[in-house]
Chain A
Amino acid sequence: MTAPVTAQSIGAISCHVCGLLVSKRFIAEHRADCPRCDAALHSRKINSLNRTWALLIAAAILYIPANVYPVLTLISFGRSTTNTIMGGVIELAQSGQAVIAVIVFVASVFVPIFKIAALLFLVVSVQLGLKVQRRKRALLYRFTEFIGRWSMIDIFMISILIGLVKLQALATVTAGPGAIAFAAVVIITMFAAMSFDPRLIWDDEGNDNDG
């Protein structure tokens, strides 16, 4: 198959903010920013693979304290219950809230692991020059980028509980240090997804005899 016609192959850059197609000749002669929206123009995200790697490693390390340390403590009538992320899910399931338990499990446990694994796979597949299933990998990236934010459910839930439940002797909810690590995992993986450039999946298509 012949090499596909891309912005890169015709010597142009597509603005990542407004989508205007700008020729490199224009950039060299006039300005480095988009003539329509003034955004800095880059053919590919800068240092995409290294940045994504670094952020993924940081997220994977923080994933441990995020799950080991408690995220919240409830004190009611002198009795205190402390929950980790997973403990919160189990407690919801035990109290018969199956649907909510599944939602929280997916958002807080499944999504962060899935996201780190999926981005790791995408980065490695680009570095190894994998030539198959490009469209599926593109879809995987789009899905990963979409679901990442939903892990914030637990952080918002904790913020609401600690802001609401403060009836001194009767009931008080306090946050635990696991919450900081967990929020950091969510935000760092969001940055990791943003720093990965999905165009890298396609860049070597048509350069040789592949499908």
Chain B
Amino acid sequence: MEINKDFSYTEAFIACPECDLIHSTPKIREGEQGRCIRCGALLFVRHKNSLNRSLAFALTGLMFFILANLFPLLTFQMEGQSESNRLIDGAIAFWNAGYWELGIVVFISSVVAPLAVLLVLITLLLPMQLGRSPFSPQFQVRLLSHLKPWAMSEIFILGIIVAFVKLQDFADVSVGLSLVAFVLMVAATVMAYLTLDEGALWSRLKEIRA
């Protein structure tokens, strides 16, 4: 491959994030993706209307996140007594039981990080939609990449399912409205991520700033 090494920084080439091999940036069409020829890592994706759709999904996700905090997740009944829990009750219960480390871990991974991901996406994409530059796109993009591994809502859902099955053995358990909202929030967040094309993000930012 012919590479002009005399650049300061360039978008004409990219290095594979997992093996460092240089690839020239291809002209791929919307809906297509490009993988590294050496290690198979995903290098390029193009989505139709990427930024608008990602924003729409993030806003939807935020709406469901709010709903998920208003109602019970599960309701548990035994001998005429009942008890419900909200999204944040798990973290609080760990904290109150003296397991504050676990309280913090659960609070961050099931509440703070999923909410922060949505808020960062919205504060990044909404101003751009209105033709304005976000307050600090560099910081926001870096924050997003740091938050991503710690937002574990989809795993939390499996935790709820296992808890539900365990309780069924000795009590009546029913699913609350919040669980439905929470599942929809996770779906919207996943879609917001999947449709976000970072290449499109940087080029749109350049246009706005020009």
Contacts and interface: CB of A to CB of B under 8 A. Distances in A.
Contacts of A162: 90, 93-94, 97
Given A160-B85, A175-B94, A138 B19 contact: yes
Contacts, number: 213
A4 B5 CA distance: 15
B66 interface: no
B18 A135 contact: no
B180 to A, nearest CB: 16
Contacts of A35: 8-9
A37 B138 contact: yes
A153 B158 contact: yes
Interface stretch (A5-13, A113-121, A124-132): A5-13
Q: Which of B15, B20, B105, B169 has the most CB of A within 10 A?
A: B20
Interface residues of B, number: 69
B155 A17 contact: no
Nearest to B79: A170
B165 A154 contact: no
20 contacts: A10-B5, A17-B145, A19-B17, A23-B7, A26-B8, A37-B137, A39-B138, A76-B170, A104-B162, A138-B41, A153-B159, A159-B91, A159-B106, A162-B93, A164-B74, A164-B167, A171-B170, A180-B99, A198-B18, A202-B19
Interface of B: 1, 3, 5, 7-11, 13-22, 38-41, 73-74, 76, 78-79, 81, 83-85, 89-94, 97, 99, 101-102, 105-106, 109-110, 137-139, 141-142, 145, 149, 152, 155-156, 158-163, 165-167, 169-171, 198, 202
Interface of A: 4-8, 10-12, 14, 16-23, 25-26, 30, 35-39, 76, 92, 95, 97, 100, 103-104, 107, 134-135, 138-139, 141-142, 149-150, 152-157, 159-167, 170-171, 174-175, 179-180, 183, 187, 190, 194, 198-199, 201-203
Given A12-B5, A95-B169, A156-B159, 20 more contacts: A6-B19, A7-B20, A20-B9, A21-B11, A21-B14, A153-B159, A155-B106, A156-B163, A157-B160, A157-B166, A159-B159, A162-B93, A164-B89, A166-B83, A167-B81, A180-B101, A190-B149, A194-B149, A198-B19, A198-B39
